[in-house]
Amino acid sequence: MKSRIAVLASGGGTNLQALLDYLAQRGPLAEVEVALVACDRPDAGAIERARRAGIPTALVRSPKAPDAAEPLMVAREHDVDFIALAGYLRLLPGDLLAEFPSRIVNIHPALLPAFGGPGMYGERVHRAVLLSGAGVSGATVHYVDEEYDHGAILAQWPVPVLADDTVRSLSARVLKVEHVLYPRVIEAV
Ligand code: GRF
C-alpha cells in the first residue's frame, strides 16, 4: 500500500510540483501518494497546483488564517502517514511532531548546518552564502524537529557557487537540484 503524504507549503510550490511530476512518472511503481496539500496562507501558489492535480487541500492555523484547523487535526482527518515540508515557513506545533516521530522531513536551500536557522529562508539564504565567499552551496533534506533547520540530515546535493553568481542565479541552480533530490528522498524514507 502506498504511504499517504501531506505536503505543507507556504509559497509557490515548485517542490510540490516536482514531487507530483516524479510520482506521475513513476506511475504504479510509486511508493507514495500525495494525499493532502496544507498551507498556512490562503494565497499560497501550492494550493492552486494541488487543485489542478485534484489533490485535497487544507488551510492550517496561522496569523494569516487564525480560524483554520490545527495541523495535527488536518493530518488526522486525511489519514496521513508522513509529512514533507516544501517551503513551509513556520515551526511545527509540538503535538504534530510527537505524533509523527521521524516522519516529517524538510528541504533547505543550502548545505546545513551552514546557512540555516531562524530567519534563513528564501533569498536570505543565498545572499548569506554569496556574502560569505563560500565556493559551494546546495540542498539539504533533513528530519524536522522543534528548531528551524535542525533535525538529522538525510541527504545533501552540492552545487558550485560561481564568481559572477547573483542571488537569482544561485537560487535557480540550487532549486534545480532540490527538484531532483527531494522526491527521491521522500520516496526512499
Ligand atoms: C525551496 O528553496 C526550499 O528549499 C525552501 O523553500 C523553497 C520552496 O520553494 N524550504 P517552492 O515553494 O517549493 O518553490
Which grid cell is 75?
Answer: 493530518
Classify 5 as helix, strand or coil: strand
Q: How far apart are CA 56 and CA 64, in angstroms?
A: 20
Provide CB contacts within 8 A for 16, sequence distance 6+.
7, 9, 34, 37, 46, 49, 50, 86
CA torsion sign for 27, 25, 37, 99 is positive
Mutate to test the pocket of ligand 1, among 170, 178, 181 (most ligand atoms within 8 A of CB): 178
pLDDT the model gives residue 95? 97
Question: What single-letter amino acid sits at 161?
Answer: V
Task: Order the strands of the 57-59 sheet from edge to edge.
Answer: 57-59, 32-39, 3-9, 82-85, 104-108, 136-143, 153-160
3-state DSSP call for residue 133?
coil
Nearest CA among 114, 106, 155, 105 for reference residue 136? 114
For residue 161, report the distance from its CA to the centre of ligand 1, in Å: 19
Distance (Å, whole) CA 100 – CA 144 = 10
pLDDT at residue number 138:
98
pTM: 0.97
The torsion angles phi and psi of 129, rounded to 5 degrees, stand at -65, -45
What integer pLDDT is reported at residue 64 of this predicted model? 85
Name the residue at shortest CA distance from atom 2 of ligand 1: 109
Catalytic site positions? 108
**Residue 180 φ/ψ region, left for φ over 0, alpha for ψ in the -120 to 50 degree band, beta for the rest:** alpha
Coil vs helix vs strand at 135? coil
Task: Going residue by residue through the chain, which has 189 residues, state the pLDDT in tens, using 9 for 90 and above.
Answer: 899 999 999 999 999 999 999 999 999 999 999 999 999 999 999 999 999 999 999 999 998 889 999 999 999 999 999 999 999 999 999 999 999 999 999 999 999 999 999 999 999 999 999 999 999 999 999 999 999 999 999 999 999 999 999 999 999 999 999 999 999 999 999
Which element (helix H / strand E) includes 131? helix 123-132
Please list every protein residue whose CB sits less than 6 Å from any atom of ligand 1. Answer: 9, 11-15, 86-87, 107-109, 175, 178
